Amino acid sequence: MHDHLGRFAALTFASDESRPPLLRSLARYEKALQLVAINFHIHVRRRLADHRVVDGVTLTPREFECLKWAARGKSAWDTSQLLGVSKRTVTFHLENAKAKFGVRTINQAVARMAASGLTRS
């Protein structure tokens, strides 16, 4: 299945029959399946656009947001109040960001983000 940008998705079925019933059904619904493929591509592009790549590391929007607040000197508790989530949730995202950067401290993760110039975003 191809979308209008030339991207494609593939799904393969195998059968012992030369013309299995499923294949006949798929041929009937080819346009609908192409629409599903196009929607899939749109969804994937949107999700990828939401993520930030910092120094070669892909951060989720929430990891990036928590690191931005940490870069501004906010504690996990402060950030939790600003974002309306629990302190534990903020800590979870900061720990994930640290692991992705391969660093031991929040300050090291913030320094990596600051070096990329993205703390002002």
The widest CA-to-CA distance across the chain, in whole angstroms, is 67
**Mean pLDDT for the chain overall:** 81
Place of tokens 């013309």: 19
For residue range 41-77, what is the model confidence (pLDDT) as tens digits?
Answer: 676 666 555 668 887 888 888 999 999 999 999 999 9
Q: Does pLDDT of 92 surpass 90?
A: yes
pLDDT band at 87 (very low <50, low <70, confident <90, very high): very high
Per-residue pLDDT band for 9 (boundaries 50, 70, 90) equals low
Q: From residue 120, how far is each of 36, 41, 52, 57, 105 by CA, in Å?
A: 38, 30, 13, 18, 21
Q: What integer is the mean pLDDT of 95-101?
A: 95
- What residues pair up with 2 in beta bridges, in sequence order? 8
Cβ-proximal residues to 108 (8 Å cutoff; 6+ apart), any chain:
98, 101
Inter-residue contact 30 to 42 (CB < 8 Å): no
**What pLDDT is attached to residue 121?**
46
CA dist., res. 22 & res. 11, Å (int): 13
Q: Are the C-beta atoms of 105 and 98 separated by less than 8 Å?
A: yes
pLDDT at residue 48, as a whole number = 55
Tell whether pTM > 0.85. no
How many C-beta atoms lie closer than 10 Å to residue 121's C-beta?
A: 10
Q: pLDDT at position 1, please?
A: 54
